[in-house]
Amino acid sequence: MSSPPRIRPRPGSRRSARDRSEAAPPTLTCPTRQTLDRLADRWTVVLLDQLENGPRRFGQLRDAADGISEKMLTQTLRSLERDGFVTRRSDTAKVPQVWYLLTPLGRSVLEPLAAVRSWAHQNIDGIERSRLSFDAEPR
Amino acid sequence: MSSPPRIRPRPGSRRSARDRSEAAPPTLTCPTRQTLDRLADRWTVVLLDQLENGPRRFGQLRDAADGISEKMLTQTLRSLERDGFVTRRSDTAKVPQVWYLLTPLGRSVLEPLAAVRSWAHQNIDGIERSRLSFDAEPR
């Protein structure tokens, strides 16, 4: 009873020390996960793809994102606008039309996205083989 | 009534043609989205991070993934194993212990993941500024 309580080092304490020296992220992976959540959204990649080629109107995006509802398209565009990936512009026609276009921020995410996409296309067969073999094993 | 029905080209038909020449993916973004879904999982990045440094035991992963439940850790490891990112190995001690380690596939995804992470850390402030300004605008 006289021995002092053993103090176990807090798991990941090296990281925590590093985190404390940084400003924004509450955990190391927080911005990473936010970005992954953003990119993993059902329609985000489809819309970024379209907008990579230039400004698009709402109807053009709806046609390109085959199967998207207008409500979901509106929500996704608002969310991309809120995060600063997409902006809107009205033209000066008599009946002004709204165009959606990538911001520099939105354009810059295309690069890491391309890295994920390239990896995915190279490795999806391996993932699928692994799943088949995993599911076939007795457990 | 005599004119034939207008057949609108199917949106994304150029893509569909390209897809048909490929084996697995039903749509262009399918492997990309699968990969993004995998990486955007709440705990995947944390576990990949740990395993990047070498084999880990279940308890070590549980301590490192601060806040994970044992059930969730079991599920996530099984899912990573199923996808071929992680494998298990038993040592030869009297009481054998299971070690989890990255497969070559799991190791290879660290590269595009690093690209996303680097982008995220560089741009999270811009995203947060954009959100503040978007939320402050009258709508």
pLDDT one-digit tens code per residue, A103-113: 999 999 999 99
A:73-92 residues touching chain B, CB 8 A cutoff:
81-84
B interface test, pick of A68, A111, A116 with most B CB neighbours within 10 Å: A116
> For the residues B18-27, what does the mean pLDDT come to?
36
Rg (CA), chain B: 22
A134 in contact with chain B, both atoms CB, cutoff 8 A: yes
pLDDT at A29: 57
Out of B11, B29, B119, whose CB is closest to A35? B119
Residue B48 has a pLDDT of 93
Instruction: Give B78→chain A minimum CA distance, Å.
Output: 9
Q: What tens digit of pLDDT does each residue of A66-106 get?
A: 889 999 999 999 999 999 999 999 888 888 788 999 999 99
DSSP string, chain B: --SPPP-PPPTTHHHHHHHHTSSS-SSTTHHHHHHHHHHHSTTHHHHHHHHHTS-EEHHHHHHHSTT--HHHHHHHHHHHHHTTSEEEEE--SSS--EEEEE-HHHHHTHHHHHHHHHHHHHHHHHHHHHHHHHHHS--
Select the residue of B29, B30, B40 nearest A37 (Cβ to Cβ). Answer: B40
Task: With cut-offs at 50, 70 and 90, classify the pLDDT of residue B81.
Answer: very high
First to last CA, chain B: 46
Q: Mean pLDDT across chain B, nearest whole number?
A: 81
State the CB neighbour count (10 A cutoff) for residue B114: 13
Q: Return phi, psi of residue B89, to 5°.
A: -145, 135
User: Is B127 within 8 Å of A49 when comparing Cβ atoms?
Assistant: no
Closest-CA residue of chain B to A47: B29
| pTM for this predicted structure | 0.71
pLDDT of residue A70: 95
Higher-scoring residue by pLDDT: A61, A33: A61
How large is the average pLDDT for residues A44-71? 93
pLDDT band at B8 (very low <50, low <70, confident <90, very high): very low
How much is the pLDDT for A95? Answer: 80
> What pLDDT, in 10s, does the model give residues A5-19?
444 444 444 444 333
Across the interface, whether the CB atoms of A105 and B112 are under 8 A apart is answered: no
- Residues A17-26 have pLDDT tens digits of 333 333 333 3
pLDDT at B17 over 90: no
Q: What is the pLDDT of residue A42?
A: 80
CB contact under 8 A, A119 and B35: yes
> Does the pLDDT at position B50 exceed 50?
yes
Determine the average pLDDT of the residues in B91-107: 88
Encode pLDDT of A112-128 as tens digits: 999 999 999 999 999 99
Nearest CA in chain B to A48: B29
Q: Determine the pLDDT at residue B40.
A: 85
At position B54, the amino acid (one-letter code) is: G
Q: For residue A110, how many other CB atoms are within 10 A of its CB? A: 18
**Chain B interface disruption, residue of A119, A122, A132, most B CBs within 10 A:** A119
Between residues 40 and 79 of chain B, which touch chain A (CB distance below 8 Å)? 40, 42, 45-46, 49, 63-64, 66
